[in-house]
Amino acid sequence: MGQQKDSTDLMNTLEKETGTTVNYTTATFKTTRLVNGHTVENVGKGVLDVKISHRFGTLNKGGYELFGLDNATMRMGLDYGITPNLMVGIGRSTFEKTYDAFFKIKILRQSSGKRNMPVTLSYIPTVALKTLRWADPSRKNYYSSRLFYTHQLLIARKFSAGTSLQLMPTFIHRNLAALKADPNDILAIGIGGRQKLTKRLSLNAEYYYQLPGHKIDSSTNSLSIGIDIETGGHVFQLHFTNSVGMSERTFISENTGKWEKGDILFGFNISRVFNIGKRR
């Protein structure tokens, strides 16, 4: 019996050393959103994630507008996990009365051991519908002019228990541009990260750089910095950003805020999850 136990222990040790098991990386980020943009995280199968996002007015409004607190833009969204690697989501923003829908599929997952994969890779296509009244209702307007499309790849790596980075190459197509000189297709590359500070607190940041020749001349790049606070059944995110909109079209390609001019908005995201799938 003693020899058999020693042999089993030795086999287990050899399996670990030779990498016969796959060790998947978990919790690269704490939520499915970094600040405005997505992370590689998915909600679990059968899980409904209710998200409420607020952006107040800019700080440079001064005391009369209580430094932006008198104004607010909101997005309410519902995300649902179909499988562990596939989720869908819908949302509605007060900014430009925009509806959006997306799905997120995890293509690769960071792992070590038998299968060594250095990054997690996700793909997200999004469609957005702008429902503001037509600026000129007397002209012939097309429903398709209200539609906008976004395609993103998310490439993330968790370097340690407290440090994660993510790249977000992005393509945005607008069926209708505001000016003839404005491109219909926008190309951008985003970079974001998370640094754990305490057991329940982390620092997040994201930046989207629009490529020259593939951006609106008057637009500025989006920069957001914030913290995540884990409190029981939900994650509370507080942040500062120069972007008013919360759909990819608005905060990546049509952003006009400048940090150096005080166009800084305080905001928050709050997330609450519910298990509504069938339990076996």
Query: Looking at the DSSP assignment, which residues form a beta bridge with residue 52?
Result: 76, 270
pLDDT digits (tens, 9 = 90+) for 57-106: 888 777 777 777 778 899 999 999 999 999 999 999 999 899 999 999 99
> In degrees rounded to 5, what are phi and psi of residue 19?
70, 50
For 219-234, b where at least 16 C-beta lie within 10 A, e where not — what string?
bbbbbbebebbeeeeb
Amino acid 136: pLDDT: 74
**pLDDT score of 30 more than 70:** yes
* Ranges 42-46, 215-219, 229-233, 236-240: which has the least confidence: 229-233
Question: 113 in the Ramachandran plot: left (φ > 0), alpha (ψ -120 to 50) or beta?
Answer: left
Query: Which residue segments constitute the domains of the chain, with CATH numbers given?
Result: 32-275 (2.40.160.40)
Amino acid 72: pLDDT: 85
Q: Which residue did the predictor score with more confidence, 133 or 26? A: 26
pLDDT digits (tens, 9 = 90+) for 205-216: 999 999 998 888
Count how many Cα atoms sit within 13 Å of the Cα of residue 138 in the half-sphere of its side chain: 0
Q: Give me the percent of the chain exceeding a pLDDT of 90.
A: 60
What's the CA gap between 39 and 174, in Å, rounded? 23
For residue 167, the surrounding DSSP H or E stretch is strand 163-174
For residue 23, the surrounding DSSP H or E stretch is strand 22-24
Query: Looking at the DSSP assignment, which residues form a beta bridge with residue 193?
Result: 165, 205
Average pLDDT over residues 214-226: 91
* Ranges 5-14, 40-49, 80-89, 147-156: which has the least confidence: 5-14
Average pLDDT over residues 30-51: 95
